[in-house]
């Protein structure tokens, strides 16, 4: 299960998606999320799904990565779908005691499940095609107006990116610790909830020690390289908007307008 968590992973490539300005990619991801929640019928959701399939195809990221990124959050997706299905009033299609399932509830559950899947897959594509350094620069540039309010924008962007960058490292470290504890005879999969929680203690303590050690090493490395924050800092790679950034932005805007037009022409499901 731990190996299926792909948050923070970056896959180098030379596709158009990889070469897009990182600031534009962050804005387009937000626009895609807005597009998903604007869709109120199957046709609108189909636009979001087709857009996702097209962008993954252009980026060269294997489609199996979508399933891999979704596997750890399947329980959350199912829980959300079940809640929406049971707590929606309408035309009853099944009833057993106090449990009632309405047609509108089933449609809402399917809609929310598709939205969550597309949302996770779409946001994952951002980290798949953007390096941590580019993400740091993009977040700092986008939040730069907050500097006038004395907000430490550079430090915030740096902390967010470091946290995102070390998620795969901590996952790999956790997997190694679990394998080592199992080799020593630790039972991590049997017993009740309290017994499983106690079994995690031999994993969490070494993991915390390893995380603090890595943080200390990172701080020492940054200090040795004379890092003093964002003041006066220059960048080896400057961010510049190119023609394909405007083309991508226009395409996403066209998809959003198409979803809005579909909402006006096709009645909502519920």
pLDDT of residue 244: 87
Q: Are residues 162 and 203 located together in one domain of the fold? A: yes
Q: Under a CB-based contact definition with an 8 Å cutoff, are residues 88 and 104 in contact?
A: yes
Residues 119 and 3 in one domain: yes
What is the predicted pLDDT for the residue at 105?
75
Say if residue 270's pLDDT is above 70: no
Find out whether 27 and 94 touch, Cβ atoms under 8 Å.
Answer: no
In the prediction, which pLDDT does 251 show? 93
Whether 140 is in a domain gets the answer no
Report which of 220, 7, 221, 27 is spatially closest to residue 141, judged by C-alpha positions: 27
The pLDDT, as a whole number, for residue 265 is: 84
Check whether residue 95 and residue 24 sit in a common domain.
Answer: yes
Same domain, 116 and 168: no
> Is residue 139 in some structural domain?
no
Same domain for 40 and 174: no
> Is residue 141 situated within a structural domain?
no
pLDDT reading at 113 higher than 90: no
Question: For the chain, what is the domain count?
Answer: 2
Alpha helix locations (H) across the chain? 16-19, 22-38, 42-59, 64-70, 74-86, 103-129, 132-142, 153-183, 193-199, 201-224, 243-265
Residue 144, in any domain of the structure: no
Q: What is the pLDDT of residue 240?
A: 79
Mean pLDDT of the chain: 81
Q: Are residues 119 and 250 in the same domain?
A: yes
160 against 97, higher pLDDT: 160
Residues 126 and 168 in one domain: no
- Do 2 and 120 fall into the same domain? yes
**pLDDT by residue (tens digit) across 185-244?**
777 777 676 777 777 778 888 888 888 888 888 888 888 877 776 666 666 677 778 888
For residues 200 and 81, state if they share a domain: no
Given this model, what pLDDT does residue 257 score? 93
Domain hosting residue 159, numbered range: 154-237
């Amino acid at each position: 299960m731990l190996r299926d968590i792909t948050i923070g992973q970056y896959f180098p490539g030379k596709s158009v998606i990889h070469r897009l300005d990182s600031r534009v990619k962050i804005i387009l991801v937000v626009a895609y999320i807005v597009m998903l929640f604007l869709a109120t019928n199957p046709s609108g959701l189909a636009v979001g799904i087709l857009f996702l399939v097209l962008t993954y195809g252009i980026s060269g990221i294997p489609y199996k990565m979508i399933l891999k990124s979704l596997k750890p959050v399947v329980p959350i997706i199912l829980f959300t779908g079940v809640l929406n299905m049971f707590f929606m009033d309408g035309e009853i299609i099944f009833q057993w005691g106090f449990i009632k399932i309405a047609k509108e509830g089933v449609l809402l559950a399917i809609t929310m499940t598709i939205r969550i899947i597309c949302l996770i897959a779409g946001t994952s594509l951002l980290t798949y095609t953007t390096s941590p350094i580019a993400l740091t620069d993009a977040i700092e540039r986008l939040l730069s107006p907050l500097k006038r309010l004395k907000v430490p924008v550079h430090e915030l962007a740096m902390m967010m990116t470091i946290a995102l960058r070390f998620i795969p490292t901590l996952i790999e470290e956790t997997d190694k610790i679990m394998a080592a504890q199992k080799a020593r005879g630790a039972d991590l999969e049997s017993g009740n909830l309290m017994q499983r929680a106690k079994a995690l203690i031999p994993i969490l303590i070494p993991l915390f020690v390893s995380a603090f050690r890595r943080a200390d090493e990172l701080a020492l490395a940054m200090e040795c390289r004379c890092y003093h924050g964002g003041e006066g800092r220059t960048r080896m790679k400057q961010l510049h908007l190119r023609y394909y950034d405007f083309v991508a932005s226009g395409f996403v805007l066209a998809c959003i307008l198409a979803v809005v037009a579909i909402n006006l022409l096709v009645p909502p499901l519920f």
